[in-house]
């Protein structure tokens, strides 16, 4: 799990609630300062702990000198919450000019005070001592105080968490990760780490990034060959003659019954000549370029002695655990080499994939619905300040949307019903014509969830020809037990299915879809030995964050976005 919970802060906040003055506000468990959140996120906004002496650290959001330079106000933020702590420093305590630049890091000791009546803050900090200053040259700092566009910030992915928006998104993302583990652990699911490097294409869509050392190996070899050219045929021939001569010398000495010492000296020379020959022969074989065999790349010489890829989904591997541990989930990065430049696609994204044994499509839908509702409620309970920030700055409706989803049953319709409904639409002209058998486009999905139903919609029983090989064939032989969860703002949030547990059916499907059987033999074993009905789904984690926050572009809800043409840091 990459993102951890923040319970110590919560505990501190409640520990000081009832007995504010006598119980000192506590320092962070592993750092010599009080997190700003444990001061400001108290229900009293910190007023109840006025009078206490604390050390805080953070970065200046806004700083200004006042009273003709006799003191400075600093809005200090340490990332533990959206709110800033107002800090007041007198000129007698520090060089104010150094402190006020946006981005400056300061650690200060001081006393919490009630601010004058009528001010916004419930508490402020009067500084007694400045312990540390991490300077910023405002002329060079790339993130000045002016409002910066999200596009601009993508050029500074290492600095952008210093902004209110990216830090709010980071806290919401963390909360959703924690909520995910909480939900599945609470329901008895086991967390399984599936591999990043894989040799099977889960979706069979051929959108995988290849993992190979053939290219770097060949480049290394090329450099080595330039530095140290391979031996010529003549060199090898000369080395062969030397071996022959040394061999004859040994035979000769043996035949005249020479002394032991003489013979072993001669054998040693022969051994040296043989070693030299074999080294030359090996080096003579060295060729620039990628190794080939029968006109194709020779993957036997690759790192894994076969072709390997970055995973597009942990599903197939997690199924092998579901088929013995019953309820499992994986949550990790997945990779797709799609050349999509949309605001909903990344080349590297995170997916949450539960897999439930003894479960049919209906159970799968129930699980997906309960999980999404749980995530929404979690954000309302745990992240309201950051959600309010998002509502104020990005999407006025985002909090209402969370409330609606947390409390409204999802609509469930079959693909066939969805197509019928979309065909009847007259108030909108779709770019892609609707017809039974097409893969629903984002415009159709969003129309269903945003316009027709105005709530999440689960579409199920899709035509088999547009879905992956592992989905269970329905009795009509035309559709598979697949389901997609569509939500307003995003469209497809979840894709899942009941898995084809019948050996005959699934092996037939693999062949029908033109996939090679060999890489899936292990997967077929799950059906050969103790097969079980099972179902699962994948939730695109960044899509969930888009849905929750109302952000428009998926590149702004993952810390380090990867998309065609871009992989910074």
Residues that bind Mg ion (CB under 5 A): 495
| 349 lies in the site for ligand 4AD, by CB under 6 A | yes
Question: What does 34-83 look like in DSSP terms, one character per residue?
Answer: --HHHHHTSTTTTGGGTT-EEEEEEEEEEEEEETTTTEEEEEEE-SSSSS
52 binds, among ligand 4AD, Mg ion, none (CB under 5 to 8 A by kind): none
* C-alpha to C-alpha distance for 459 and 415, rounded to whole angstroms: 6
* C-alpha to C-alpha distance for 90 and 558, rounded to whole angstroms: 40
494 binds, among ligand 4AD, Mg ion, none (CB under 5 to 8 A by kind): ligand 4AD
Q: Which of 110, 103, 108, 138 shows the shortest CA–CA distance to 125?
A: 110
* C-alpha to C-alpha distance for 388 and 41, rounded to whole angstroms: 14
User: Residues 318-337: x/- map of binding to ligand 4AD (CB under 6 A)?
Assistant: ------------------x-
556 binds, among ligand 4AD, Mg ion, none (CB under 5 to 8 A by kind): none
Q: At what angle do helices 384-393 and 398-407 cross, to 10 degrees?
A: 130
* C-alpha to C-alpha distance for 487 and 457, rounded to whole angstroms: 7
Q: Which stretch binds ligand 4AD (CB under 6 A): 47-55, 61-69, 170-178, 344-352?
A: 344-352
| 110 lies in the site for ligand 4AD, by CB under 6 A | no
Contact 95, 77 (CB under 8 A): no
| 166 lies in the site for ligand 4AD, by CB under 6 A | no
| 527 lies in the site for ligand 4AD, by CB under 6 A | no
Residue 194: CB minimum distance to ligand 4AD, A: 10
Contact 531, 498 (CB under 8 A): no
176 binds, among Mg ion, ligand 4AD, none (CB under 5 to 8 A by kind): none
Vertex 249: Cα angle to 246 and 251 (nearest 5): 115
| 202 lies in the site for ligand 4AD, by CB under 6 A | yes
| 72 lies in the site for ligand 4AD, by CB under 6 A | no
353 binds, among ligand 4AD, Mg ion, none (CB under 5 to 8 A by kind): ligand 4AD
| 547 lies in the site for ligand 4AD, by CB under 6 A | no
Q: Which stretch binds ligand 4AD (CB under 6 A): 13-21, 71-79, 453-461, 490-498?
A: 490-498
Contact 506, 527 (CB under 8 A): yes
| 542 lies in the site for ligand 4AD, by CB under 6 A | yes
Query: How many Å is the maximal CA-CA distance in the chain?
Result: 115
Residues 6 or more apart whose CB falls under 8 angstroms from that of 206 comprise none
By CB under 6 A, how many residues form the interface with ligand 4AD? Answer: 22
Q: Which of 488, 540, 550, 561 binds ligand 4AD (CB under 6 A)?
A: 540
As given in the structure block, the two tokens for residue 32 are 């010599």
| 58 lies in the site for ligand 4AD, by CB under 6 A | no
Q: Which of 495, 549, 556, 561 binds ligand 4AD (CB under 6 A)?
A: 495
Chain residues binding ligand 4AD by CB under 6 A are 202-203, 313, 315, 336, 338, 345-346, 349, 351, 353, 492-496, 536-538, 540, 542-543
């Amino acid at each position: 799990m990459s993102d951890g919970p923040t319970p110590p802060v919560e505990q501190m906040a409640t520990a000081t609630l009832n007995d504010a003055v006598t119980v000192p506000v506590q320092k962070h468990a592993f750092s010599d300062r009080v997190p700003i959140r444990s001061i400001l996120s108290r229900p009293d906004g910190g007023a109840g702990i006025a009078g206490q002496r604390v050390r805080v650290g953070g970065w200046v959001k806004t700083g200004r000198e006042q009273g003709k330079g006799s003191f400075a106000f600093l809005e200090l933020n340490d990332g533990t919450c959206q709110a800033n702590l107002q800090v007041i420093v007198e000129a007698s305590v520090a060089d104010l000019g150094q402190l006020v630049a946006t981005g400056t890091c300061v650690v200060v000791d001081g006393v919490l005070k009630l601010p004058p009546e009528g001010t916004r803050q419930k508490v402020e900090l009067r500084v007694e001592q400045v312990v540390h200053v991490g300077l910023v040259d405002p002329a060079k700092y790339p993130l000045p105080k002016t409002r910066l566009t999200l596009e601009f910030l993508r050029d500074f992915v290492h600095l952008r968490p210093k902004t209110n928006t990216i830090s709010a998104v980071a806290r919401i993302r963390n909360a959703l990760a924690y909520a995910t583990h909480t939900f599945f652990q609470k329901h008895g699911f086991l967390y399984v780490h599936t591999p990043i490097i894989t040799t099977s294409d889960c979706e069979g869509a051929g959108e995988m990034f290849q993992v190979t050392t053939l290219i770097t190996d060949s480049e290394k070899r090329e450099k080595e060959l330039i530095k140290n050219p391979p031996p010529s045929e003549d060199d090898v021939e000369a080395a062969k003659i030397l071996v022959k001569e040394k061999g004859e010398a040994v035979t000769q000495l043996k035949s005249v019954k020479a002394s032991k010492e003489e013979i072993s000296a001669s054998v040693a020379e022969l051994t040296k000549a043989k070693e030299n020959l074999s080294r030359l022969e090996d080096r003579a074989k060295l060729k620039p370029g990628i190794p080939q065999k029968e006109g194709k790349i020779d993957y036997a010489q690759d790192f894994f002695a076969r072709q390997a890829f970055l995973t597009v989904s942990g599903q197939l591997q997690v199924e092998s655990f579901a088929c013995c541990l019953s309820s499992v989930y994986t949550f990790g990065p997945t990779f797709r080499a799609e050349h999509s430049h949309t605001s909903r696609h990344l080349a590297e994204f995170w997916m949450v994939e539960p897999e439930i044994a003894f479960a049919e499509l209906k159970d799968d839908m129930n699980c997906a619905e309960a999980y999404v509702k749980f995530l929404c409620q979690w954000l309302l309970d745990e992240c309201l300040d950051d959600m309010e920030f998002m509502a104020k700055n990005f999407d006025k409706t985002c909090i209402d949307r969370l409330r609606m989803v947390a409390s409204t049953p999802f609509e469930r319709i079959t693909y066939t019903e969805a197509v019928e409904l979309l065909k009847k639409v007259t108030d909108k002209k779709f770019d892609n014509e609707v017809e039974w058998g097409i893969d629903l486009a984002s415009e159709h999905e969003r129309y269903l969830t945003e316009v027709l139903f105005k709530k999440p919609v689960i579409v199920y029983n899709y035509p088999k020809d547009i879905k992956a090989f592992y989905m269970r064939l329905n009795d009509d032989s035309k559709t598979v037990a697949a389901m997609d969860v569509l939500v307003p703002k995003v469209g497809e949030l979840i894709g899942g299915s009941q898995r084809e547990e019948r050996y005959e059916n699934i092996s037939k499907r693999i062949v029908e879809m033109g996939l090679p059987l060999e890489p899936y033999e292990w997967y077929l074993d799950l059906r050969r030995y103790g097969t079980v009905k099972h179902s699962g789904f994948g939730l695109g984690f960044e899509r969930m964050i888009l849905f929750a926050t109302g952000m428009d572009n998926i590149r702004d809800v993952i810390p380090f976005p990867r998309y065609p043409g871009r992989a910074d840091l």
